[in-house]
């Protein structure tokens, strides 16, 4: 399977193209609508993906749920990841990264990510999807750096029976886009960047970490409008 890549060519390799996640979400929704990419459900990866997905849901009038995924980080950092774990237990890792650490280190990193996913799954329990049998689903995040977080989400969504799957993000590295394309029907990236190093934050003029309480507040606001 190899999906089609849909991008905004005029945004390729540009920096600070979005004001914030709200701006990115609105522009992503507009692009999806222009391309006729409707769906039965939007799945947002918390926390940052919820801030983007919130506006996609509002603009398109499509219900939103969450795909709880946590990246597996290297033992010497809390930021750089080499894989991810989904709320259903799906694990996706960069095999090359395993060669630079011991089996014990890898297991420790994986268990830490699994505990984090379990905690988050409890927090977002009422917003997790049930069966997706026969549905068209769009998975949204605020950006793809390595692509493994999206890959773990894709694996879970397929397990739940989605019929058609689109990954949609405001920004992505070229390597993450290539990794993702082999697992979806379509990949939407507004700001594709081919340079290295790559950071999701560089696509935004205003960037900060979003708290879980902020993500939950957005989900509650959507629920009040019948969209979560």
DSSP state of 100: G
pLDDT at 81: 77
**Domain residue limits at 133:** 4-224
According to the model, what pLDDT value does residue 31 have? 98
Nearest Cα neighbor of 215 from 144, 147, 153, 142 is 142
CA separation for the pair 199, 55 (Å, rounded): 22
Enclosing H/E stretch for 70:
strand 69-73
Q: Rounded to two decimals, what is the model's pTM?
A: 0.95
| Whole-angstrom Cα Rg for the chain | 16
**Model pLDDT, residue 56:** 98
pLDDT of residue 34: 96
Per-residue pLDDT at 105: 86
User: 99: domain CATH number?
Assistant: 3.40.50.2020
Burial class (CB within 10 angstroms; exposed 0-12, middle 13-18, buried 19+) of 105: middle
Q: How many domains does the chain have?
A: 1
What integer pLDDT is reported at residue 97 of this predicted model? 78
Asked if 129 contacts 160 with a C-beta cutoff of 8 angstroms, the reply is yes
Which pLDDT tens digits describe the chain residue by residue (228 residues)? 678 999 999 999 999 999 999 999 999 999 999 999 989 999 999 999 999 999 999 999 999 999 999 988 887 766 677 899 999 998 998 888 778 888 888 889 889 999 999 999 999 999 999 999 999 999 999 999 999 999 999 999 999 999 999 999 999 999 999 999 999 999 999 999 999 999 999 999 999 999 999 999 999 999 999 999
Q: What is the pLDDT of residue 78?
A: 61
């Amino acid at each position: 399977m190899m999906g089609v890549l849909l991008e905004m060519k005029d945004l390729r390799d540009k920096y600070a193209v979005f004001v914030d996640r709200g701006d990115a979400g609105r522009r992503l929704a507009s692009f999806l609508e222009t391309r006729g990419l409707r769906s039965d459900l939007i799945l947002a990866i918390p926390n940052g993906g919820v801030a983007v997905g919130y506006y996609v849901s509002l603009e398109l009038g499509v219900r939103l749920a969450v795909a709880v995924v946590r990246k597996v980080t290297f033992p010497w950092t809390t930021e750089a990841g080499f894989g991810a774990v989904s709320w259903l237990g799906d694990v996706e890792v960069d095999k090359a990264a395993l060669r630079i650490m011991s089996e014990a280190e890898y297991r420790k990193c994986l268990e830490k990510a699994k505990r984090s996913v379990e905690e988050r799954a409890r927090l977002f329990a009422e917003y997790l999807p049930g069966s997706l049998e026969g549905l068209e689903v769009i998975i949204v995040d605020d950006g793809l750096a390595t692509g493994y977080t999206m890959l773990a989400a894709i694996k879970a969504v397929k397990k739940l029976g989605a019929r058609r799957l689109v990954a949609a993000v405001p920004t992505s590295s070229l390597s993450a886009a290539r990794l993702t394309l082999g697992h979806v029907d379509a990949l939407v990236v507004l700001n594709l960047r081919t340079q290295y190093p790559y950071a999701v934050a560089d696509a935004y003029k205003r960037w900060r970490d979003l708290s879980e309480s902020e993500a939950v507040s957005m989900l509650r606001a959507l629920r009040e409008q019948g969209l979560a």
